Structures are given as C-alpha cells and as structure tokens.
Amino acid sequence: KADKITPGYKDAKEKMKEAFENATVIAVINPIRDNSFFNRSGWGSSYYNYSNEYFQQKLIRDLSNTSYSNNYPAKFYGDWEIRRNQLMPDWEVNLTLRKMHVPYPNTNYRSYNISRYVEVSRDSLNQPVFKTVFATLNITYRNFTAKATMEVAVTDIATGNKIRYRTINETYEWYEEMGTYTGDSRALGPKDWEIINRRQFNDPKKEYILDQLYRKIYPAVLGEIRTAAYW
C-alpha cells in the first residue's frame, strides 16, 4: 500500500515482492497414482504412461502461468524438480485414478419405416402427380460409455490436514451406425444415405478414449488446485 499512498516510496515494490515471496507456499504435484488397475488390463502402453506424465506437466505449466500465479502465493513443482533443487515442499497435490473403465462396444440392431411424399409424374396439364413411397431402414449400431474417476487431494505436509479434496467423475460416449434398406430409395433422406453408405465401423482406439477422458477431467482438477491456492 505504501507504493500507492506515497508514489516513489523507496523500495516499496521490492518490499512488497519480498513479503509475498516469504509467504509463498511450495507445492509439489506428484505423478498420477493409478489405483484403477487400468494399466494392468492388457494394453498398458507407453502412450498411457505418456498421458499421465503429460497431465502432471500440463498442470505445472498452467499453474505457473504468470497471469494466474501472481494472484496467489503458491509455487508449483513436479516431484523431479523438488528432488533436483532440494526444495522442502509445504503442500503436496496427489492425483489418484480410482476408476478407468473402457468397455468393448455393444452391437445392437433396430429398424424403422420411412415414408416420403414425392412427385412421380406429370398429368396431361403438366401438373405434378404425387404419391407416398415407403422404405425400411435396417440399422446395426455400436456404442459404449467409458468412465473415469480421479481424486484430487491437496494436503499440508506438516500437519497432514486436507486443504482441498474432491472426487471427479467423467464419461466419454461413442455411437456409430451403418445400415441397409429395403423398399423405395426415393423415401430416403441425406442422413439415411449417410448411414447406408458407411461401409465399416471406426471404433476409437483406447489411446484416443483415454485422451478424451483426461481432457474432460483436466479443467476440474486444475480448478480445484487453483481454488486451494487462492487465498
């Protein structure tokens, strides 16, 4: 306040900066702990490990962004930075993956009837003649819902007290269909033809599903940590 009350007050900004830094909390963001058994489900790949590491590193980058970091007295580091710089953290942020369920797609069938009023000819006065035409669309569709649950815990290391805790649930839904028809093709619309012209299902890869779930979870995790650090 001295800088605002008395412009040019010697070293005011430096003293404000020093006071801020003395109150700064050092927080370590630990790697994601996987308690979901997902990485032992038969497809534990390097991509999975990369996603976990990327998630941790992105949190550190975003929390260190100057547009936010100047608003709260906390500095965030990865576990490797803490060891390398021999820092003594005040808080730890633990991320625990409690659930990661990616089911095999279900295959189901359905049919529905379509009708359309179309011009079929012209009469002797050159006026359009209409009739109702019919078709049946036989659809095969595949779908699944993947689910993930992550716990976020911000803990004071000295006391063991939870500063912030939340369980975050997210889902990723996928649906695709293809089909054939019987009857009059004139009854079909553009969306029907899109289904009919699809020749195969494009099931998403598990790496893609994992990425989508992490993308949906990430903003909530980031928000929880920012809330804990904003005094």
Q: How confident is the model at residue 13 (pLDDT cuts 50, 70, 90)?
A: low
Distance CA 146, CA 129 (A): 51
If one counts every other C-beta atom within 10 angstroms of the C-beta of residue 192, the result is: 18
- Whether the per-residue pLDDT at 68 is higher than 60: the answer is no
Which residue type sits at 114?
I
Q: Which residues pair with 118 in a beta bridge?
A: 131
If one counts every other C-beta atom within 10 angstroms of the C-beta of residue 111, the result is: 12
Looking at per-residue pLDDT, the higher value among 65 and 112 belongs to 112
> With contact defined as beta carbons under 8 Å apart, do 143 and 174 qualify?
yes
Q: How confident is the model at residue 123 (pLDDT cuts 50, 70, 90)?
A: confident
pTM: 0.75
- Whether the per-residue pLDDT at 220 is higher than 90: the answer is yes
Task: Identify the H or E element spanning 53.
Answer: helix 46-63
Lowest-pLDDT range of 2-16, 72-86, 206-220: 2-16
Q: Tell me the pLDDT tens digit for each residue of 159-169.
A: 999 999 999 99
Q: Which residues pair with 43 in a beta bridge?
A: none
Q: Containing domain of residue 213, as a range?
A: 2-229
In the prediction, which pLDDT does 5 show? 44
DSSP 99-145: EEE-PPPEEEEEEEEEEEEEEEEE-TTS-EEEEEEEEEEEEEEEEEE
Q: Between the ranges 24-33, 64-73, 163-172, where is the mean pLDDT highest?
A: 163-172
Residue length, the chain?
231
Which whole-number Å values give the CA distances from 70 to 9, 73, 111, in the listed order?
Answer: 22, 7, 59
Q: Tell me the pLDDT tens digit for each residue of 87-104.
A: 999 999 999 999 989 899
How many domains is the chain partitioned into structurally?
1
> With contact defined as beta carbons under 8 Å apart, do 96 and 150 qualify?
yes
> With contact defined as beta carbons under 8 Å apart, do 136 and 111 qualify?
yes
Longest pairwise C-alpha distance within the chain: 100
- Whether the per-residue pLDDT at 70 is higher than 90: the answer is no
> With contact defined as beta carbons under 8 Å apart, do 147 and 125 qualify?
no
- What is the arithmetic mean of pLDDT over 213-230? 91
- Whether the per-residue pLDDT at 20 is higher than 70: the answer is no
Lowest-pLDDT range of 7-16, 132-141, 157-166: 7-16
In the prediction, which pLDDT does 67 show? 52
- Whether the per-residue pLDDT at 29 is higher than 90: the answer is yes
Distance from the first to the final alpha carbon of the chain: 18
